[in-house]
Amino acid sequence: MSGFKKFLLRGNVIELAVAVVIGAAFTSIVNSFVKDLLTPAISAIAGKPDFGSLTLQIGNATISYGNFLNALVSFLIVATVLYFFLVKPYELLMARFGPTGKETRDCPECLTEVPKAASRCSACTAQLAPVS
């Protein structure tokens, strides 16, 4: 039981749980932005953006590809919104306020990335000179 308690109290498990909850909440915000703001704006410019009724008849089979197109367009809009309103600002913030120095270095023997404070390479066990 103590092993399970240690597992639950690890920082990365708590961080992952918080990330999942925040991700779920953020999903509803992004979906609302797409559904309530972007889709009506696109509709005003290009007509009604609903492809749900598009089908293709091949023999006796009916292929309803309109719903797939709706999902694809929605995905592209969500991905664009996430990129420009989350990823891009985050990259700008990290470039401005993030860590300034590289925390790792390359092993001179095998070129594996090792922490700066390491005295041996974890891949080839070569002795490494200390770096400050």
Q: pTM of the full predicted structure?
A: 0.51
> What proportion of the chain, given as a percentage, has pLDDT over 70?
91
Is 72 found in the same domain as 126? Answer: no
Is 109 found in the same domain as 91? Answer: no
Residue-wise DSSP of 82-116? HIIIIIHHHHHHHHHHS--S-SEEE-TTT--EEET
* Least confident piece of the model among 9-13, 70-74, 110-114: 9-13
pLDDT in tens, 2-55: 787 777 666 677 778 888 888 888 888 877 877 787 777 777 777 766 677 788
Tokens representing residue 99 in the block: 């860590």
Is 111 found in the same domain as 60? Answer: no
Structural domain range at position 118: 101-131
Give the pLDDT score at 101.
67
Is 107 found in the same domain as 73? Answer: no
Q: Confidence band (pLDDT; 50, 70, 90) for 68?
A: confident
Q: How far is Cα 125 from Cα 112, in angstroms, rounded to an integer?
A: 11
61, containing H or E segment:
strand 61-63
Count of domains for the chain = 2
Is 51 found in the same domain as 70? Answer: yes
CATH code of residue 3: 1.10.1200.120
Is 59 found in the same domain as 2? Answer: yes
Backbone dihedral angles phi then psi of residue 105, each to the nearest 5 degrees: -145, 165
